[in-house]
Amino acid sequence: MRTTSATLSRRGTPLLMLTAALLVGISVVMSGCGALAGDAIPANNTATTSTGASPGSPDETVVATVDGDPVIAAELAHFAGMRRAALIDAYASAYGAEYDEFFWNRSYAGQTPLQTLREQALKDAVRMKVELRQAYQHDIIESALYTDLLALMAQENKRREAAVAKGEPIYGPVRFEADGFIDFYRSKIRTTLREELAREELAPTEAELRAYYEQEVPDLMPVEDRIVYDLYTVSYRESGEPGKSEDGSEQERRDAALRTAEAIRTQLEEGIGQEGAHKATSDGAAELERTQAEADLIGTPDPVALPDSSPAPSVVYEPGLVLDERSASRMFRSAHALYTALRESAVRGGAPQVVDDASEGRYVVVHIQSREAGNRPDFEEVRDQVRKLHLEAAYERYIDDHANNARVERLPALEQLKLGVL
């Protein structure tokens, strides 16, 4: 491991290269190359920096330092671009702010959106700088300078363009833009750094893993309960796409189907307390009687107002369906609304509920008959997964702690940044 240094790159020092192996997630390799970022910022942070950028080049004006390492304007512009849309929405929601030419400089609660954007971007830049410094100190990379990351991107883009010209296969985009490349680069660094930290600083004990398994895994690795349910389906789509019926009767059919579904739900609720009507039994005759009783319970739905050409809603009754580990994945993909309703049935007390399955053009009434808790896997069966989840959580706390304790110096140029919004 390297000793702490205020400068993370020097002229002539080898620089980590994102080779094809790294870009497909196989390994991180070192390769020599010359300086890509110019002279490093001295440890006393008194370097002379540029005050702007030529067209097409990043603005290398140093606007802050993190534990002595420079943060340049282009870095903040990167993170500002990631935050911009969400911040506009947040101000509109909190203050009813109108997005116009005065938006960024209009004050809300004593602060302008532009000032908020600077603060958010700086916070993100500090966290990245801390993460890259840790990677540098653990011999994973040879530079944590933003300009070097951009140089790596340019080098990788040339490699990809040459490969395409030769008809060779490449993985991912033909050409990276800064946003996609930096996030991808960080994800690869993060994977390697987590494992390095797991050797010492973040190495979990067996007791910690077991405690994490008991406290967190039930939420992070939920198991599927075995749910037996009856399903009543009332379709409202005749053909084609929803809302596209030529005679304009789509909404009428939808309204009628909803009234029918609600009537079924009400009738089921009223019948729940009737002895034997909904009681599960192993006796085949009694089971058949229960099924017939529920079918009789529905009866004929109340008349609804429909165009003369539209038939009354029909009800399809499917008793004894099962949701469990084997069927959960398929239902999650193909009937997500129904899957969610069944999963939430314990919270709702198992009462019948109406679900709008819009993708299939139908309302379904779900009536739970029984629910058995799924079997939670033993610790030894999922130990590797528990370790992975524990390490990810510990890593995030580790980086957050270092970012919160970093020594951040704001330079005058920071307050002049427009971040591309003005």
Please tell me whether residues 178 and 73 are part of one structural domain: yes
pLDDT score at 48 = 36
347 — alpha (psi -120 to 50), left (phi > 0) or beta? alpha
**Residue predicted with more confidence, 382 or 40:** 382
Tens digit of pLDDT for each residue in 89-128? 999 999 999 999 999 999 999 999 999 999 999 999 999 9
End-to-end CA distance of the chain: 43
User: Per mean pLDDT, which of 5-19, 36-50, 72-86, 173-187 is the most reliable?
Assistant: 72-86
Please tell me whether residues 139 and 78 are part of one structural domain: yes
Instruction: Confirm whether 332 is domain-assigned.
Output: yes
Please tell me whether residues 371 and 235 are part of one structural domain: yes
Give the pLDDT band (50/70/90) at residue 222: low
pTM of the model: 0.61
| Contact of 129 with 71, CB cutoff 8 Å | yes
Distance CA(385)–CA(378), nearest Å, equals 12
Give the pLDDT band (50/70/90) at residue 220: low
Please tell me whether residues 86 and 161 are part of one structural domain: yes
- Give the mean model confidence (pLDDT) for residues 262-284: 57
pLDDT score at 12 = 34
Please tell me whether residues 256 and 390 are part of one structural domain: no
- Give the mean model confidence (pLDDT) for residues 409-418: 95
Tens digit of pLDDT for each residue in 117-169? 999 999 999 999 999 999 999 999 989 999 999 999 999 999 999 999 999 99
Please tell me whether residues 328 and 234 are part of one structural domain: yes
Range of the domain at 150: 58-219+386-416
pLDDT score at 286 = 39
Instruction: Confirm whether 324 is domain-assigned.
Output: yes
**Tokens standing for 9?**
């790159």
Please tell me whether residues 195 and 326 are part of one structural domain: no
The count of domains in the chain is 2
- Give the mean model confidence (pLDDT) for residues 307-330: 77
Distance CA(374)–CA(326), nearest Å, equals 12
Distance CA(261)–CA(234), nearest Å, equals 7
